[in-house]
Structure 1
Amino acid sequence: MSGNCNGGMPEPGRWHFVPLAIVAAGLVLGYALGWHQYLSLEYLGQSRQALKAFVAANPVIAPLGFVVLYTLAVAFSFPAASILTIFGGFLFGWLFGGVLAIVGATVGATIIFLAARTFCSGYVRERVGSVATKLSRGFEKNAFAYLLVLRIAPFVPFFIVNIAPALFKVRLRTYIVATFIGIMPGAFAYAWLGQGCDSVLIAARNAGQQATIRDLVTPQITIAFVALALVAALAAVVKKAWISRMP
């Protein structure tokens, strides 16, 4: 292997772990500061009034802040995408909240993509063996369709899909568009679930009671779970088709 990476960059041994180190540092810092405690349904239930009030008082800052938070969570691979999407539906409604989640997830994923592509993608590709060969063939045949399948079907971890295209010279525009479209079904389903949780909490508050599991069985929640089931079924179909076409 040559001494330098693409574009005459310094030795791979000095630089190829930089993105991973930054992600790991961000995760450690987040957990050390206890940020994960705020990314839970328990916190959402306890702070729903304060969060709603903040959103109402800050119609511009609140959605922008949510997108930034979502972007950082994805960029640092924090395992909170589903919860944050539920937060989005809860605070902004299923449509607007879903769009905000999609934008945040796409921007965060793009940051990882650019980082992986910049820091010696060839070095990493040479060390993932036969898996790299199979993925490269898929991306070479039709990068957009292949990446779209990987986004829709959650049988491949989100973090892996964020990085893999960078190893095989997928165009930035192709990556962004396929990511944006591919995460739509799951994002809107979870956002709808968040909006349904909002209605349950409001009803419980008006009745002077605490919401129970039985209260969650509402038509809106049922529709949300049906939507999630359809997404899972679609993923299963896509996975089967993807495997059958593997080179």
Structure 2
Amino acid sequence: MIKKLIILAIIVVIAVFIRNSPYSEYLTFSYLEENSDALLAYVSDNRYISIISYVFVYIVVAGLNLPGAAVMSLSGGFLFGAGFGTAFAVTGATLGACIGFLVSRYLLGDVLNTKYEKQLAKFNKELAVNGYLYMLTLRLIPIFPFFVINIVAGLTKLRLFTFFWTSFIGMLPGGFVYVYAGSRLSNIESPKDIFSPGMISAFILFGLLMLVPVVYKKVKGRV
């Protein structure tokens, strides 16, 4: 138990340090705009190092729930283009989510499972009935913050591999919206300009389509 608390304390200290350090300025929209030319030049000269660094930073941001995930996705589109940017951003976000999942399962499990036993029983029931479709829906339609989903999922009986692939696929549409916007960064003056009516409509439609199997199962079960 003491080892778990020490590891958890180290993680918290790292997260707090990054949040309050000058490095947090690198995860802002203004920094991306002000240094766009320099960043593009660096990526052009150091392609593979840039990709590895980008994915690593995204893992840290997502894993520690640091502010800046949206800016990271925008950066992915701006630096690598919509296609590769989406792949790199979603990979980083998914691996970061897995860190939250594992921290919850192996460091917080004993405490949180006891405290929220009834709530977790409901979540486990949904997983048993709807399986991976339930996780896909939670990822695709962000009713709850992604970090909360990571923590709660880690407390359930969900397998890590299932969590990984459902998170990856479920985050693709939303990730693409931000990355695509980043690839058009020169036309965006603030983060509020990310969503065009066409992109919003496509995102909502995709989400509704993913809900159909779950709704169908529930309706069928009542007939």
User: Do the two structures share a fold, i.e. TM-score over 0.5?
Assistant: yes
Of the candidates 44, 50, 69, which is equivalent to residue 81 of structure 1?
69
| Equivalent of residue 230 in structure 1, options 202, 214, 218 | 202
Question: 2:200, 2:40 → 1: CA distance?
Answer: 25
Q: How many residues align?
A: 215
SS of match in other structure, 2:144: coil
- Map of 1:205 onto structure 2: none
Residue 189 of structure 1, aligned match among 177, 189, 196: 177
Specify the code of the residue in structure 2 equivalent to 1:150: L
What is the TM-score normalised by the length of structure 1?
0.76
What TM-score, normalized by structure 2, do the two folds share? 0.84
Aligned-partner Cα distance in 1 for 2:205–2:4: 38
Q: Which of the residues 137, 150, 172 maps onto 2:160?
A: 172
1:98 Cα offset (Å): 0.7
> Which one-letter code corresponds to 2:181 in the other structure?
L
Contact kept? 2:76, 2:86, Cα under 8 Å:
yes
Separation of aligned partners in 1, 2:5 and 2:130: 29
1:155 to 109, 118, 143: 143
Deviation at 1:177, TM superposition (A): 0.7
2-side partners of 1:230 and 1:21: how far apart? Answer: 42
Q: State yes or no: 1:60 paired with 2:48.
A: yes
CA drift of 1:161 comes to: 0.9
Measure the CA separation in 2 of the matches of 1:188 and 1:175.
20
- RMSD of equivalent CA atoms: 2.8
Give the Å deviation of 1:173: 1.1
2:86 is aligned with what amino acid?
Answer: G
From 58, 69, 74, the equivalent of 2:57 is 69
1:32-73 CA deviation, whole Å, 9 max, x = no partner? 212221111211111001000000000110011000000011
Higher mean C-alpha deviation, range 107-116 or range 173-182? 107-116
- The whole-number CA distance in structure 1 between the counterparts of 2:52 and 2:178 is 19
Match of 1:117 in 2: 105
The structure with the larger Rg is: 1
- Local SS of the residue matching 2:155: helix
What is the rounded CA distance, in whole Å, between the counterparts of 1:84 and 1:127 in structure 2?
Answer: 34
Unaligned runs of 5+ in 2: 219-223
Separation in structure 2 between the aligned mates of residue 148 and residue 22 of structure 1, nearest angstrom: 31
Query: Contact 2:124 / 2:157 at 8 angstroms: preserved in 1?
Result: no
1:44 to 11, 32, 38: 32
Residue 124 of structure 1 aligns to which amino acid in structure 2? Answer: L
Matches of 1:148 and 1:227 in 2, distance apart? 20
Q: Which has the higher helix share?
A: 2
Q: Pick from 21, 26, 30: which aligns with 2:14?
A: 26
- Given the alignment, which residue of 75, 80, 100 partners 2:88? 100
Q: Secondary structure at the match of 1:183?
A: helix
